[in-house]
Structure 1
Amino acid sequence: MKKIWGLVVVALLGLSLSGGISTQAKEKASDKKDEVTIYLVRHGKTFFNTTGQVQGFADSPLTDKGIEQAKQVGKGLKNIKFDLAYSSDLGRQRNTAKQILAQNENKKPKLSEHDGFKEWNYGGFEGKTNAEMWTPIFEANDLKFDEDWTDYDKLVNKLGDEGVADAIAEADSLKVAETYEQITKRGQAAMDKVIADAKKKNAKSVLIVSSGSMIPTLLEMLVPGEYQGEAIDNCSVTTLKYKGNKYSVDKINDTQYLE
């Protein structure tokens, strides 16, 4: 009789363990199922990038190099099945996104546009040289501006993303440059739209083409403290994961596809 009860206990224990393992496996599978990978890409090199001019809401076309960069990134990501794709209505972002999607070997999503992914609006500084806008801000913080952006990480570490944006808005004589509050308001609206779309369509991979100042702003909004003033190069890829209503950073400024 004892042997029979022993066998029953072992069997029940085995079922319990099996159920626990099965539950854990299901939970892990569910976590993976709900995870969204977001590929944040800066647009390819433009005419204004080449001439060192301020380029926010103002636009300039992709150069031949910028087009080639976009194609290279597209080839590097060609096996990723993008379920959703976004840019703003800025030509440099839209055309970069189109070049990336053109290289993809999977069914391509329709490219959606949202103002939240536009670059910062630099107001009266638009089209002026980078030095005209940045030199006074750098010098006010005991730093030196150069076209290699050598001290930019120091500026960000000192002022934060918010302080940099508000310093530009304050210095704009036309008083139309965006404040940080205005920038983040549209950026948050854009990301809320992306996540809502992703949940609706059960999306797993999302392409977003944006710009060199807006990408760090999105990072600071979604994963505060993770961005430390790193360069965001033309056509670099910054990768985020979204799961359980939380974002995490995978990579920042990945340029492997351009090498």
Structure 2
Amino acid sequence: MTKTTLYIARHGKTMFNTIGRAQGWSDTPLTVVGERGIKELGVGLKQFDLTFNEAFSSDSGRTIQTMEILLNELGQIDIPYTRDKRIREWCFGSLDGGYDAELFMGVLPRIYGTETEFRNLTYEEMANGIMEADTAGWAQPWDVIKERILSGFTDIAQKIEAQGGGNALVVCHGMTISTLVYLINPDIPKQSLDNGSVTVLTYENGQFTVDIVGDMSYRAHGAEVLDGRV
């Protein structure tokens, strides 16, 4: 059986990404710069002759828009495509749409103490802090976040595996991808994932392995092709 590999891309840069607002379950479209970045990614993936059995994204507009660009650039618009709400971004509740700096540099440090650096918080602590600050009651507890993300990706991998293995293309969100990586291998340091970066997982014998996190080489190569530098 061919091994199962998930190529997980973070969506293209959006309006909220550009002005530094927490997007969560709220949504804004890709900017012109964001569309160009995903075009670069699609061209780069195609240059490496990557083909995909199926495509998957969250049900957020920004991931759907990203996937449409990618499949067009890959020339693979006819492969099966599933939208799964389980691989949405974290929900920030009433903090959705607020400025990133206020959430991560203000709200969370105020909850855990002014000397707390939010990057040192565990994902569970971040989830608990967001729930405490959320006045709408929409934010999800850590147990719900980790279960939906892990089950969503496990089902994707098992579906591809049941077909004999191969590659799946997945588009989702920065914190969703980072959380998944942590759940698979907690020893991998946290890192901020760029728009259009690719994280690669393999799935064999019921286990995920993290091969690479936040790879920007596909985008870089695609940019060179589009700019006529190669």
TM-score normalised by structure 2 residue count? 0.87
User: Aligned partners of 1:197 and 1:257: how far apart in 2?
Assistant: 26
- Structure 1 position 108, deviation (Å): 4.2
How much is the aligned-residue C-alpha RMSD, in angstroms? 1.8
User: Aligned partners of 2:188 and 2:128: how far apart in 1?
Assistant: 18
Selected match of 2:81 from 92, 105, 111:
111
Bigger relative contact order, structure 1 or 2 (CA pairs below 8 A, ≥6 apart):
2
Instruction: Say yes or no: does 1:237 pair with 2:205.
Output: no
SS in 2 for 1:206: strand
Letter matched to residue 127 of structure 1 = G
User: Aligned partners of 1:258 and 1:77: how far apart in 2?
Assistant: 8
Call closer, same or farther: CA 1:112–1:226 in 2, change over 3 Å.
farther
- Structure 1 position 106, deviation (Å): 5.2
- Name structure 2 gaps, 5 residues minimum: 221-230
Number of the residue aligned with 1:159: 121
Stretches of 4+ aligned residues off by more than 3 angstroms: 105-108
User: Aligned partners of 2:88 and 2:60: how far apart in 1?
Assistant: 7
Number of the residue aligned with 1:193: 155
Number of the residue aligned with 1:18: none
Letter matched to residue 232 of structure 1 = L
Call closer, same or farther: CA 1:228–1:241 in 2, change over 3 Å.
same
- Structure 1 position 51, deviation (Å): 1.2
| Native 8 Å contact 1:83 1:108 kept in 2 | no
Number of the residue aligned with 2:107: 136
Number of the residue aligned with 1:96: 66
- Structure 1 position 105, deviation (Å): 4.3
- Name structure 1 gaps, 5 residues minimum: 1-32, 145-151
Instruction: Say yes or no: does 1:175 pair with 2:146.
Output: no
Letter matched to residue 137 of structure 1 = L
Between the aligned residues of both structures, percent identity stands at 30
Call closer, same or farther: CA 1:197–1:34 in 2, change over 3 Å.
same
